[in-house]
Amino acid sequence: MKHYNPFRFIACVMAVTTLFVACRKEPLELQNPNTRRCSTYFEQFEAVWEGIDHTYVLWSRDTVDWDARYEKFKPIFESFDARGTVDVEEWSQAWEDFTYGLLDHHMYIRLYNPKSEVTLGLKPAKNDYEHKTDISAQIAILKQQPGVTNYVEYWDSKNPYTNSVACLLPGKTTGKYIAYLRLGEFAISTLYKDDTLANKAAIEAPLRAFYGDDYSNGISNGLAAREDVESIIIDLRGNPGGNVADLSPAIGSLMQTGCEYGYSRYKQGTGRLDYSGWMPAGIPLPLHHLTKAKPVVALTDINSVSCAELSTQIIKTMPQGKVIGERTYGGTCALNPYTDVWFNIYYTGCFGDQKLFPQPGVGDGKPTHPEDFAYYVYSGTFDIVTKDYKSLEGVGVQPDIKVLYDAEALAAGRDTQLDAALSYLRSNQ
Amino acid sequence: MAMGSAAFAQDGISADTTGGKKAPLQTFNHKWSVGVAVSGNINIMTTGTAYMSTVTYYPFLGTGIGINANYRLFKWLSFRVGAMSLMKSHRWENAITIDGNTASTSSVYENRFVNIPVLADFSIGKKTRFHLFLGGYLGYWTNGHIIGSEIPFLSLNDEGVNNDYEFDSRRDNRFEAGLAYGLGLAIPLSNRLEMDIDLITHYGLTDMQKKYMRQQNPRYNTTTMLQLGLAYNF
């Protein structure tokens, strides 16, 4: 019988083992998309591709084949460099085609072409339904409503964050009212703290009228709190969103308890599908709020975006809440445009250096680094879903009572969406 | 079987080699053994963080339980096959600075695997025996859970994260394979029963993710476990 040498046997096994240990792949070395500088067409393309590749929060449901886009457009952008200069239209079209159809409805991409001294802005997500909201016409019709009273308005089309309208409209019962509020944007807390506004009292007046003097803390002594107000309309049509911190005073104050409306998560690694766990998303009850539930209608349209959509979703989940009008826009991620803060915390969302772009009004208006192919990507940081983990991105909040925007009726002095809301609240519901 | 018997004969081992004296406890006289084991482990998930300078993946502790069977080929060599359920966890931490204050947010990923190690077991010693294990393992990622103290950005309160890990068939490679190696000590308690103390590492060679993107950071588990077992020889 042959004698086996155990040490020779062990040595062989260990040698094979060592070979296997070397089989692990090395980690990638990636450039930070927030600080990367580009000096060619291709570098700019690659920086944006990589940035979106590693930081985009909606990869779990986006259907764009991002690797295929890279393979398709890499030679195109390389050819731009080989040619030296490129027609602006051709360059713009390449970018349009390269980013087309990404799901994030907040996403906005800015690109600077130093060879042509042109800045390009792109919105990759597309909605199959769109219109402009004629807010002026809607406000004019509101003012003419029979029995309108306590009407307070501040509307400056150049500065929408300051805008709001409040009033009372006749309710279902004689002597009772519907309190109406239209918010230009969600900027209540910002406005409350802003002491630089010369006409602050006029700007605040509708908010003070509807919520009360301490409006940044919810409903105190305003119209909404009055005993003779039996129901409420929050008009979010054309509202582009704003500060999520405003959800609590603006919408949470209509409730009697805090509200958990869904979950949020963000990216945690460089992998497209590296996510944090789902965190409960909700709004706390503000200092001042209604002590008795009142029916609430959210008036919405396709231009109700972001925070306006979260507000709509929250109202929809309220037992006495109803959404009337159109589906909302479908841009439901939360984000912060300032890349020097949030990107460095979450490594997701907006990236790029806006300071590398030409800045009108700053110095001579030329870019600080004129040779740089600057880029900036405005994109969501937090993916938000409903309580049953349904995403509203690209879909929006569906109305309970659908009333499409009717431009012809508006031109003729009828706001069919407002009419539907009033008729609902004046009916037996 | 015949091969095993021949090997024992060649090594000069038989059931009674003591000449009538009280036999020392020598469990290696037996060809087969089966055992159970419990373990505590530390798992390292190796991956790249690239430019995420404040992010660190830390090792995390876990536990396991398993069964195994040994077949002795020679006095110095046997083969062990087992099945064990064990946690391979890691902690993700982002040490962030907000308004000049350092804060951190972290999540513990508790991943449970079923591993099947197949080991060559080299051993020496007369009574208490020292073991060297070399081999490989196959694993299956059965489930996961995430517990985290996340930044309560949109949260109603500071509940953080506490939910089951959602497998994504595009991303997660639930099968794992790798090397298994370690050292052990077998202390006979009787002629048939022995206590095993093993320090064994499962070194993953397969990425925890499928190849689903062009630029992908790999993820590998390395689990080192201290295993306490009881084996019955027959």
What pLDDT does residue B215 have? 93
What pLDDT does residue B59 have? 98
A387 or A4, which is more confident?
Answer: A387
A4: confidence class by pLDDT, cuts 50, 70, 90: low
What pLDDT does residue B11 have? 41
Is 50 exceeded by the pLDDT of residue B74? Answer: yes
What pLDDT does residue A414 have? 97
Let me know: does B149 contact B54? Beta carbons within 8 Å: no
DSSP A355: G
d(CA A333, CA A24): 36
For residues B105-112, give the mean pLDDT: 93
Please give the mean pLDDT across all residues of chain B: 86
Interface probe, candidates B56, B214, B220, chain A, greatest A C-beta count within 10 A: B214
Instruction: Note whether A158 contacts B: Cβ–Cβ < 8 A.
Output: no
Kindly report, residue by residue over A307-348, the tens digit of the pLDDT. 999 999 999 999 999 999 999 999 999 888 777 777 878 889
For residues B57-73, give the mean pLDDT: 96
A89 or A11, which is more confident?
Answer: A89
From B108's Cα to the closest Cα of chain A, the distance in A is: 10
Is 90 exceeded by the pLDDT of residue A17? Answer: no
Q: What is the CATH number of domain B30-51+61-89+112-144+175-233?
A: 2.40.160.20
Kindly report, residue by residue over A50-78, the tens digit of the pLDDT. 999 999 999 999 999 999 999 999 999 99
- What are B103's strand-pairing partners? B96
Q: In chain A, where are the structural domains located? A: 41-127+334-378, 135-255+290-329+399-426
First CA to last CA across chain B, in angstroms?
Answer: 13
Q: Do A28 and B216 touch (CB under 8 A)?
A: yes
Q: Which CATH architecture has domain A135-255+290-329+399-426?
A: Alpha-Beta Complex (3.90)
B155 or A66, which is more confident?
Answer: A66
Question: How many beta carbons lie within 10 A of that of residue A146, not counting itself?
Answer: 6
Residue percentage of chain B with pLDDT more than 90? 70
d(CA A151, CA A163): 14
Kindly report, residue by residue over B178-225, the tens digit of the pLDDT. 999 999 999 999 889 999 999 999 999 999 999 999 999 999 999 999
Q: In chain B, where are the structural domains located? A: 30-51+61-89+112-144+175-233
**Class of residue A269 by CB neighbours under 10 A (exposed 0-12, middle 13-18, buried 19+):** buried
Instruction: Note whether A20 contacts B: Cβ–Cβ < 8 A.
Output: yes
Reported ipTM: the value is: 0.83
Nearest CB partner across the interface for B154, out of A21, A271, A382? A382
Q: Do A279 and B155 touch (CB under 8 A)?
A: yes
Mapping DSSP onto H, E and C, the string for B148-198 reads EECCCCCCCCCCCEEEECCCCCCCECCEEEEEEEEEEEEEECCCCEEEEEE
B80 or A429, which is more confident?
Answer: B80
Q: Do B122 and A10 touch (CB under 8 A)?
A: yes
From A25's Cα to the closest Cα of chain B, the distance in A is: 7
What pLDDT does residue B105 have? 85
| Cα Rg of chain B (Å, integer) | 23
